[in-house]
Amino acid sequence: MTTLFQRLDPRARVLTVITATVVVVSTPSTALALFPFYLLLCLLVILTGKARPSYLAARCLAASPFILLAAGVLAFQNGPSNYPAALTVAAKAYTAIILLAFLTASTPLADLLSATRRLGAPASLNLILGMMHRYTHLFSEEYARMERARQSRSVAPLGRARYQIFGRQFGELILRSWDRADRVHSAMLARGFTGAWPEPAPRQFGALEWTYLITVCGLFLAARFLA
């Protein structure tokens, strides 16, 4: 079933999440009391889309070491007087991650690329992002195959030659990426490539998009300045 968030033009989804994130992270460090409101608003936004709570929790957990380190340093630097500021830093970081993870869980990468392109990002940036999406997994598998081949043909531990061998394997992977680039480029030209990825069926930035964007951003701004 398509949710309200998924029915929106991807540009509206991206702009909503960016604006809400900017409002949250620009909150003063003394305004810890605002974060329950932000969390409630995040929950409302999430209910308009499709994101598993376990996915959002996993993304928050993955970022925790860095966030807790920064908040911990801030808290223990000046003692208890800094605890609210440290908590605010952690709350901002987790709220931003929840919003971003919600966006990526509800929007396929092709739609995100289309949105960034239509919002004015350079075509070359989109091409690189699209190629990373298609080929990173492939190169990871290719490296794993190279590593298995090396292990099956090695009779002794790597020892001090480890860096030489890994370095040459990485170099080989770079060469394979180079060769693949030539083949892929020729194939793209053969298929009539004109300088940008084909766009998914374009959607209109209509009344629904404006209403959603203004409502959600308005609620975040109201919480920020009125609460």
Partner 1 sequence: MHIADGIIPSTWCGAAHAAAWSAVYWLGRRIETEEVVRLGMLASASFAVSLVHFPLGGTSVHLGLYGLIGILAGRRAFPVIFAALLFQTVLFQHGGLVTLGLNALNMGLGALAGATLWRTGLGPESLRAFLGGFLGVLIPAVLIAAEFAAAGYGKGFFFMATLYLGAAAVEGVLTSVIVRFLRTARPAVLAVKM
Using CB under 8 A as the criterion, which residues of the chain lie in contact with partner 1 when the complex forms? 17-18, 21-22, 24-26, 59, 62-63, 66-67, 70, 73-74, 77, 89-93, 95-97, 100-101, 103-104, 109, 112, 122, 124-125, 127-136, 138-140, 142-143, 163-164, 166-168, 170-178, 180-181, 184-185, 188, 193, 195
Nearer to partner 1, 152 or 204 (CB): 152
Tell me if 4 sits within 8 A of 50, measured CB to CB. Answer: no
| Region for residue 217 given its phi and psi (left: phi exceeds 0; alpha: psi -120 to 50; beta: otherwise) | alpha
Q: How far is the CB of 151 from partner 1 (least distance, A)?
A: 14
Nearer to partner 1, 174 or 222 (CB): 174
Q: How far is the CB of 98 from partner 1 (least distance, A)?
A: 9
Nearer to partner 1, 6 or 104 (CB): 104
Nearer to partner 1, 79 or 204 (CB): 79
Q: How far is the CB of 99 from partner 1 (least distance, A)?
A: 9
Q: How far is the CB of 55 from partner 1 (least distance, A)?
A: 11
Nearer to partner 1, 8 or 112 (CB): 112
Q: How far is the CB of 207 from partner 1 (least distance, A)?
A: 26
Q: How far is the CB of 147 from partner 1 (least distance, A)?
A: 8
Nearer to partner 1, 12 or 96 (CB): 96
Helix 123-153, helix 162-190: angle, nearest 10: 130
Nearer to partner 1, 6 or 208 (CB): 6
Q: Which residue, chain included where needed, has tokens 């292990």?
A: 151
Instruction: Measure Cα distances from 67 to 39, 54, 218 in Å.
Output: 18, 19, 28
Q: How far is the CB of 84 from partner 1 (least distance, A)?
A: 14
Q: Give the tokens for residue 207.
A: 């009344």
